[in-house]
Amino acid sequence: AAAVVAAIAGGATAVQYRNKLADEAMRLRQARLLAQLCHARGVPLIVNDAVEIALASGAAGVHLGRDDPDPAEARRRLGSDAIIGVSCYDDFARAERLASQADYLAFGSLFGSSVKPNAVRAPLQLLAQGAQRGWNVVGIGGVDAGNAAQAISAGADALAVITAVFGEPGREPARIEAAAAALSKAIAEA
């Protein structure tokens, strides 16, 4: 919770809850806490992969990958105001199929990622193609303050970041806030 508050203080405009290791009860408790913290700060919380947890926690929406529920089903369950994001990896045809069902489409890994070191690399050109179609495009994977401008210049509307802001587990909130501020500055100057 302190890490998320610090990231928001540093300029994060949305937060995604992602925990692949905890059981469902723990994930729901954590998502509820983060939804309250984010809501109080005017920042949407997006739950990764889990429509049920997004619904039960009061999160603003859900982010879905290739093996997750269908975006149309997520929209039906979460409602018209929910934020539905979809990972498209390096697959522009997937983006074309799902663009009408999603509020944003994420492409990546744009750069080498320590979180998903074996992730397929997506060329920056996909961001430009998505932007040309008028889609809300998110760049993900290995993004940091040093390369954020490349993704924004290529057409990303937003960037999804883990390591560059949160670092290793236990990073002090002051360092998280500073990292988020550096990233926000890099984006603003792009």
Give the pair of three-digit tokens for residue 44.
Answer: 């949407």
Give the pair of three-digit tokens for residue 155.
Answer: 């057409």
Q: Which of 94, 91, 112 is nearest to 102 (CA)?
A: 94
Q: How far is residue 73's CA from residue 69's CA, in Å, rounded to a whole number?
A: 7
Helix (H) or strand (E) holding 183: helix 173-188
User: Residue 116 catalytic?
Assistant: yes
Catalytic residue, candidates 57, 87, 109, 113: 87
Q: Which of 61, 53, 55, 62 is nearest to 26 (CA)?
A: 53
63: left (phi over 0), alpha (psi -120 to 50) or beta: beta
Catalytic residue, candidates 32, 77, 94, 116: 116
Catalytic residue, candidates 18, 77, 133, 185: 18
Q: What is the DSSP letter of 189?
A: T
Which sequence positions are flagged as catalytic? 18, 87, 116
